[in-house]
Amino acid sequence: MSLTVVGSIAFDSVRSPFGERKRMLGGAAVHFSLAASFFGDVHVVGPVGDDFGEEQLAVLEGRGVNTDDIERVKGGKTFFWRAHYDFDLNTAHTDETQLNVFGDFEPKLSEASRQADNLFLANIQPDLQRQVRAQCEGARFAALDSMNMWIDTARDSLVAAIGEVDCVILNDAEIRQLTAEPNLARAARAVMEMGPRAVVAKQGEYGAALFTESGFFALPGYPLEDVRDPTGAGDSFAGGFLGYLDSEGGELDDPTLRRAMGYGTVLASFNVEQFGTERVATLSRAEIDDRFEALRSMTQIESLPA
């Protein structure tokens, strides 16, 4: 099986109460691919500028990510984001955004990326998501992320894109905003009525909830005493979620989706322990599986004694 992700590749400068980093490797497609790389074959599609070097490529290739579809734009500069967090790590305060080559991004997929069994459309303009979706028509499972800006400025395109995927992975506030429905259970149902068979509501430190036709499932965030940089947690979640699904040959039924939620939660939790990609770049599959089992045991209620 294989998994393609299309989205941003970035340099991030981040300051939190626990430290600061300048021009780290970042971006949705990067965090996603590194997280997904523990489960199988990942192809990353996105644009970079002349400032993107071997050091950055090596992080992705060190995890076995296929970088053939990283497009190098001559004379261009890589997407740059600068932000800080206060003690409430749930809120990123953006100080500077330079779209650079990402502003003119037109995804170009190689045959190998188009043939992927599974597809993740990270947060990009929804018409571009639709173009990519159309090129990967053989994908058995496609999911997308988005953001409040597209709900505000390109809602019709976003709704059309949602109608063409199997799953949306959004923050709970975005699900409410998209549907103008304050009740999350109703809002998730309204999103499913647009087409997808699964809706994942990301809830920051509170975890994530999964809505499907047959039911509801939720996991808390993995409890951590040291969170240094939440940047990329949502994309790492999506990477663990789609990565696990890509590694599953069988039917993507509810028990499988629940386990994928567990792997998403685990990858997000490792991501936030250090700045940028630092923690995930040194992670092992054994550490992931150990934390998955720990998370499972933290959420189980035993049956009542007979």
How far apart are the C-alpha atoms of 164 and 144, rounded to whole Å? 10
Site for a copy of itself in 171-210 (CB under 8 A): 182-186, 189, 203, 205-207, 209
User: In angstroms, what is the minimal distance from the CB of 226 to a copy of itself?
Assistant: 8
How far apart are the C-alpha atoms of 63 and 31, rounded to whole Å? 12
Site for a copy of itself in 246-265 (CB under 8 A): 255, 258-259, 261-262
How far apart are the C-alpha atoms of 242 and 32, rounded to whole Å? 9
- The H or E element that residue 291 is part of is helix 285-298
Task: For residue 53, state whether it binds a copy of itself (rule: CB under 8 A).
Answer: no
- Count of residues of this chain found to bind a copy of itself when the rule CB under 8 A is applied: 39
- Of the two residues 14 and 261, which places its CB atom closer to a copy of itself in the complex? 261
Half-sphere exposure of 227 (CA within 13 A, CB side): 19
How far apart are the C-alpha atoms of 42 and 244, rounded to whole Å? 12
In what side-by-side order are the strands of the sheet with 92-98? 19-26, 10-16, 79-85, 92-98
Site for a copy of itself in 76-135 (CB under 8 A): 87-89
Binding mask 227-246 for a copy of itself (x = CB under 8 A): x-------------------
- Beta-bridge partners for 92: 85
Instruction: Please give the single-letter amino acid code of residue 45.
Output: V
Query: What is the C-alpha R_g of the chain?
Result: 18
**Chain centroid offset of residue 284 CA:** 19
User: In angstroms, what is the minimal distance from the CB of 182 to a copy of itself?
Assistant: 4
248: its two tokens? 């599953």
- Of the two residues 2 and 256, which places its CB atom closer to a copy of itself in the complex? 256
DSSP state of 305: P
Q: Where does this chain touch a copy of itself (CB under 8 A) — which range of 58-66, 112-120, 154-162, 225-233?
A: 225-233
User: In angstroms, what is the minimal distance from the CB of 293 to a copy of itself?
Assistant: 9
Binding mask 276-305 for a copy of itself (x = CB under 8 A): --------------------xxxxxxxxx-
In this structure, how many other beta carbons lie within 10 angstroms of the beta carbon of residue 21?
19
Q: Where does this chain touch a copy of itself (CB under 8 A) — which range of 54-62, 106-114, 117-125, 217-225?
A: 217-225
Please identify which residue in 54, 225, 286, 306 interacts with a copy of itself, judged by CB under 8 A.
225
Burial class (CB within 10 angstroms; exposed 0-12, middle 13-18, buried 19+) of 106 = exposed
- Of the two residues 6 and 227, which places its CB atom closer to a copy of itself in the complex? 227
**Site residues, a copy of itself (CB under 8 A):** 87-89, 182-186, 189, 203, 205-207, 209, 215-220, 223-227, 255, 258-259, 261-262, 296-304
